[in-house]
Amino acid sequence: PVAKRAVAEAAQHDKVARPVGFVPLPPPCPGKIRHFDI
Amino acid sequence: VPAAPPAPLGCDDPESEAAAEVAVNYINGQSHHGYKFALNRIEDVRVVSQGPNNDIIFLELDLLETKCPILSPTPLANCTVRSFAEHAVEGDCDVKLQRLDGVISVLASKCHSHADSSEDIHRLCPDCPLLASLNNTEVLETVSAALNDFNSKTTGPYLRLLEIGRGQIQYHPAHIIAVEFAVGATNCSAEEAKVNVGACQLLPEDQSNFGFCTGTMVKLPSQDLNVDCQLYGHQVPTPDTPLLSRVFQPTSQDTS
């Protein structure tokens, strides 16, 4: 039961930290390709 | 009090892009051969604080060759990047910059360039012509024939070869050699050069005395030679083209 409660709390916390519509940030590097990749 | 560590930069952050623009302009400004390079991608960026408002920025850049010769007056922003099908050339650069009170300057740079692999070109475009070595016999022969042909017909100054920029050879469906080369104007007219070419000297190193030529030699199925040269300081505006756009967009890529 203890383990279950901890998991539930973590899941709840995760919901609070990530508002609706949350989009993960793209990796900071490398940047976008402007022309084409060779 | 120790300075707070600088905020980490992402490769697409405006500060990184501003530093990359300074770096690319510096790299092109330092080069005297070949073509101008344009930014394709910021591969990595690191910032090391040296004190208040004083950072060292390390950039790894991926550049691509444009169609603008390095001596061309065309601003980099107006230069077209060569397409993959034209056998693209890539530049990999490591650049160290300083950002002092918001002003970015280059401290050091190191670049290597290489053409895309022939296998990649052939896999995606089997008929695309491949880049040839600049001392390839057919390339040298075409450059020589093209420049001689132009000099034999021009009413302008006699042109001398400065350097070969590119040579491409296609074998199918026709055997075609395409070349691009930089030229310099001499103090002779083409007519005077016919009498004593040895006396013709390059005019002083000024951008207006440089130019660029494109030439193609078809060997099969029938022999044909085309050449066009444009001196950067001798561009004549056409009535339907504004003066400035003609001056800064040489038609050296045109064929005739």
Per-residue confidence band for A24, with pLDDT thresholds at 50, 70 and 90? low
Question: Which residue in B has a C-alpha nearest to residue A38's C-alpha?
Answer: B116
φ and ψ of B80, to 5 deg: -85, 135
The confidence score (pLDDT) of residue A10 equals: 47
The confidence score (pLDDT) of residue B234 equals: 57
Question: Which residue in A has a C-alpha nearest to residue B114's C-alpha?
Answer: A38
The winner for highest mean pLDDT among A2-16, B95-109, B184-198, B199-213 is B95-109
Distance between CA B185 and CA B210 in Å, rounded? 6
Interface of B with A (CB under 8 A): 8-13, 16, 38-45, 62, 64, 81, 83-84, 88, 90, 116, 120
Q: Is the pLDDT of residue A3 over 60?
A: no
Residue reference for tokens 């930089």: B182
Q: Is the pLDDT of residue B212 over 60?
A: yes
**Do A28 and B90 make contact, defined as CB atoms within 8 angstroms?**
no
Per-residue confidence band for B245, with pLDDT thresholds at 50, 70 and 90? very low
Q: Is the pLDDT of residue A15 over 60?
A: no
φ and ψ of B110, to 5 deg: -145, 125
Note the pLDDT tens digit of each residue in B116-134.
999 988 888 888 889 999 9
Q: Tell me which residue in B8, B43, B88 faces A30 most closely, judged by beta carbons.
A: B43
Note the pLDDT tens digit of each residue in B162-209.
999 999 999 888 899 999 999 999 999 988 988 888 889 999 877 778
C-alpha distances out from residue A18 to A14, A22, A23, B192, Å: 6, 6, 9, 79
SS percent in chain A: helix, strand, coil, step 5: 40, 0, 60
For residues B86 and A20, the model is more confident at B86
Q: Is the ipTM of this complex over 0.90?
A: no
**CB neighbourhood size of B159 (10 A):** 26
